A and B are shown apart, each in its own frame.
Chain A
Amino acid sequence: MPDQVTLTVNGTSVSVPAGATVAVAVAIARQACRKSVTGEPRGPLCGMGICFECRVAINGRAHSRSCQILCEPGMEVSIDE
């Protein structure tokens, strides 16, 4: 049974298995990762750090590619507006 990691996504607490990516945490929290420049909800497309649709702010750093970043305990993730 893998360890769980707890982080917050837009203020909501989410628990994921250790080794999961932030993109997965955002999906589990039923959130879209970002709003496009005209306000459409968007989520990961390529899964490999190329499309930038999975961008979120992690611990205040904007435009972080969540599909390539592993969850860490206490991470604060918020949607890039």
Chain B
Amino acid sequence: MSPGFDAVVVGAGIVGAACADELAHRGMRVAIVDRDVVGSGATAAGMGHIVVMDDSEAQFVLTRYSQQLWQALRPSLPRDVEYEQCGTIWVGADEEEMAEVRRKQKYYVARGLPAEVIDAKALKQLEPNLRDGMTGGLLIPEDGVLYPPCAARFLVERAQQRGAKLILGTSATQIGEGRVALSDGTELRAEVLVNAAGSWSGELTPGIEVKKRKGHLLITDRYPGFLRHQLVELGYLKSAHLVSGDSVAFNVQPRQTGQVLIGSSRQYGAEQKNVEHNILARMLQRAQEYMPGLGALSTVRTWTGFRAATPDKLPLIGPACHDKSVFLATGHEGLGITTSLATAKILVNQIMGVPSEISIAPYLPSRAPKEKVHA
């Protein structure tokens, strides 16, 4: 029989790590299980941005709250987490997009998030490698980037310092009714089971609508100073918003190493890990349209990852519908890094029966589906 735990977290990605850290912080005895290594799923593949998004009010609230939690955590983060508050610039390419820039600015400022409209000239000064002819953009100075696998590892280690047990290299085959069955034949028992298995969470908790959304990325060699801020095209939201089909959108990020990380792409129904040449090429062509100088940079590697996507583009944070012992912390799509800390806070508050700083209703697994999607 396994030693006593109050909670078992399945998944040591950024969300599972944050939950385990918060649970341990609140005095619970925690076990964390992952079939691979810490931070190896979407956490390893993603862009590591901490970005406030406004696709919906609920998305804004969660991302802003979590961004502030990251800022508070920043002094404790070790160097290899590579936290940089480089800011985001939402880039406008025409007048219609500038109108959207102004709308966003009003929206953010009204909610206390610093946001500055910058004109074409200022944009060129801030980011000389953007092509000529951009109309301007929106600068969000409090956004940042970090290196997710090391951030996940930091959170897990903090949990371990408070007695959490990390079990790697074995999968959870079943979770429910206070038990997690493991592939090595053993089982863990706890009153609280957290499904933080990302794009595989639907395999463990049947009926939840979490689908894999494949993304491609490319990282270059070191070119310090080529890029200073995270840059996103305004069409990014259109791409993330789509509920079917393949799309690409311009999204680049400077790493602390001076490497440039190039994204982004989204595909539904693509479940193989292989790098797909046509999608990659489209993504890179889109990136070159915004930053022609990218073409000459040396590529070190490309890879893919699977985001955990839900039909209404909000994560599932709260008790599962069918089993009192199971809690969900999954479905974060492209915002897992950003919202991991807030997810942990509001999830553990629910587990302990105390209120949260933000409304938890929009993220409850039991929420009424706003849009049913059949991909």
Contacts and interface: CB of A to CB of B under 8 A. Distances in A.
Interface of A: 37, 61-63
B221 A61 contact: no
Given A61-B296, A63-B298, A37 B257 contact: yes
Contacts of B257: 37
A44 to B, nearest CB: 17
A61 B222 CA distance: 12
Contacts, number: 8
Interface residues of B, number: 6
Nearest to B226: A62
8 contacts: A37-B222, A37-B257, A61-B296, A62-B221, A62-B223, A62-B298, A63-B221, A63-B298
Contacts of A62: 221, 223, 298
A66 B257 CA distance: 23
A63 B221 CA distance: 8
B221 to A, nearest CB: 5
B220 to A, nearest CB: 9
Contacts of A37: 222, 257
A62 B60 CA distance: 40
A61 B223 CA distance: 11
A63 B300 CA distance: 11
A61 B257 CA distance: 19
B227 to A, nearest CB: 14
B85 to A, nearest CB: 22
Nearest to B296: A61
A-B complex: 6 closest residue pairs judged by Cβ atoms? A63-B298, A63-B221, A62-B223, A61-B296, A37-B257, A62-B221
Contacts of B222: 37
A76 B310 CA distance: 54
Name the residue in B223, B257, B296, B298 with the highest tally of chain A Cβ atoms < 10 Å from its Cβ. B298
B189 to A, nearest CB: 47
Given A62-B221, A63-B221, A63-B298, 5 more contacts: A37-B222, A37-B257, A61-B296, A62-B223, A62-B298
Nearest to A62: B223
Contacts of B223: 62
B80 to A, nearest CB: 13
Contacts of B221: 62-63
A70 to B, nearest CB: 20
Nearest to A64: B298
A63 B223 CA distance: 9
A52 to B, nearest CB: 9
A62 B296 CA distance: 10
Contacts of B296: 61
Interface string B268-305: 00000000000000000000000000001010000000
